[in-house]
Structures are given as structure tokens and as C-alpha cells.
Amino acid sequence: MPLSLAGALLSLHWMDQTLNVFSQIGIIMLIWIVTQNGILIVDFANQPCDAGLSKIDAVLEASISRFHQILMTSLSTILGILPIALS
């Protein structure tokens, strides 16, 4: 989450935008997506880890198996918010 917040604030700075209500709502949505994806990866990594796989291998396996769902969730949220952001 700290890296997503830093990236959002840096992109606002690079685009010469202000931190207004709309950008704050976008930052909250970004933190929500990052948190949701992190919870999904940890949940899926705990199952192979309990079966005896090392932690790093379990996280890699969970990231690979959940990549499509995480990508689709992120894209649908971004595309749903895009008309509001552009208006």
C-alpha cells in the first residue's frame, strides 16, 4: 500500500494536478484494489504453504494462479471509474 500511495502522489505531481476530492477518491479506490489483491494472494499462498511448500514458492504459485482474476478486477474497476475521471 505505501508504494501505491507514493505512485499516486508522484503521478499527480508529474501531471501537475492538484490533490482534490476526485484524486482523493481515486487514491482510496487504488488502496482498496491493492489491499483486495494482497488479501487474495495471501489467502491462496497459505494453502500450498500448509501443504509443505516453501513460502516463496507458495507466493509465486499463488501470484501466477490469481493473476488473471486480479487483472480483470483491476481493469473493470479502472474502466468503470474512467468516465467519471474524464468528465
The 3-state secondary structure of the chain reads CHHHHHHHHHHHHHCCCCCCHHHHHHHHHHHHHHHHHHHHHHHHHHHHHHCCCCHHHHHHHHHHHHHHHHHHHHHHHHHHHHHHHHC
Q: Using one digit for the tens of pLDDT, what is the confidence trace for 16-75? A: 988 888 888 888 988 988 888 888 888 888 888 888 888 888 888 888 888 888 888 888
Domain that holds residue 20: 2-86
> Domain holding 32: CATH number?
1.20.1640.10
Tell me how many domains the chain contains.
1
- Global pTM reads 0.69
